[in-house]
């Protein structure tokens, strides 16, 4: 099968249209911001447009100039604060209207897994640097040579 490479802006705009139509969309995320729960080259995610989102959900959001797939760590009315599970600092803010879809299933080596809410991982934030440092040293985990973004699975 031939591979088609599209800029994230073009590809994810089409993903947003499909999600708005009520379709599920499967993506192969790139980058390491959701380690250790979503790993490039191994995992895909199934997204669905949900009527509401909550703390602990992993969501695809449109931010100015980019898209991110991160976990909701705080809700304040319409405002959401996001952080990648593989990040040790740095958050993004958005509104509920910026959410394009919610991860309903993680496909790990083709097998479906339900995403967890990340409660324990959230409490381990002070220790993430150590845990992620050890995790990234595992021989089976390597960063993407292509950089960040999304691929077609």
81 in a domain, yes or no? yes
Residue at 147 is within a domain: no
Q: Specify if 103 maps to a domain.
A: yes
* pLDDT tens digits for range 91-129: 999 999 999 999 999 999 889 999 887 777 777 777 777
List C-alpha distances in Å: 132 to 40, 61, 119, 129, 143: 15, 24, 17, 5, 13
| Domain of residue 98, residue span | 8-141
Asked if residue 135 belongs to a domain, the reply is: yes
Q: How many domains does the chain have?
A: 1
The string of pLDDT tens digits covering residues 38-62 is: 988 889 999 999 999 999 999 999 9
Query: What is the pTM (predicted TM-score) of this model?
Result: 0.81
Place of tokens 């083709």: 110
Tell me, what CATH number does 47's domain have? 2.10.109.10
Q: Is residue 68 part of a domain?
A: yes
Condensed to tens digits (0 to 9), the pLDDT of residues 79-99 reads 999 999 988 888 999 999 999
DSSP state of 31: S
Q: Which two tokens stand for residue 133?
A: 């440092």
Tokens standing for 134?
A: 């050890």
1 part of a folded domain = no
150 in a structural domain: no
Instruction: Report yes or no on 127 lying in a domain.
Output: yes
The yes-or-no verdict on residue 148 having pLDDT over 90 is no
Rounded to the nearest 5 degrees, what angle is found at the Cα of 3, between the Cα atoms of 105 and 24?
25
């Amino acid at each position: 099968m031939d591979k088609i490479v599209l800029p994230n802006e073009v590809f994810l705009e089409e993903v947003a249209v499909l999600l708005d139509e009520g379709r599920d969309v499967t993506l192969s995320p790139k980058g390491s911001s959701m380690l250790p729960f979503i790993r490039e080259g191994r995992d895909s995610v199934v997204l669905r447009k949900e009527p509401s989102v909550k703390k602990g959900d992993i969501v695809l959001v449109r931010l100015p100039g980019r898209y991110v797939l991160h976990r909701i760590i705080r809700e304040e009315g319409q405002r959401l604060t996001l952080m990648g599970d593989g990040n040790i600092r740095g958050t993004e803010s958005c509104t509920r209207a910026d959410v394009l879809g919610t991860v309903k299933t993680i496909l790990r080596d083709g097998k479906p897994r339900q995403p967890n809410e990340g409660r324990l991982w959230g409490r381990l934030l002070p220790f993430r640097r150590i845990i992620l440092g050890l995790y990234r040293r595992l021989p089976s985990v390597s960063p993407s040579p292509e950089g960040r973004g999304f691929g077609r699975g």
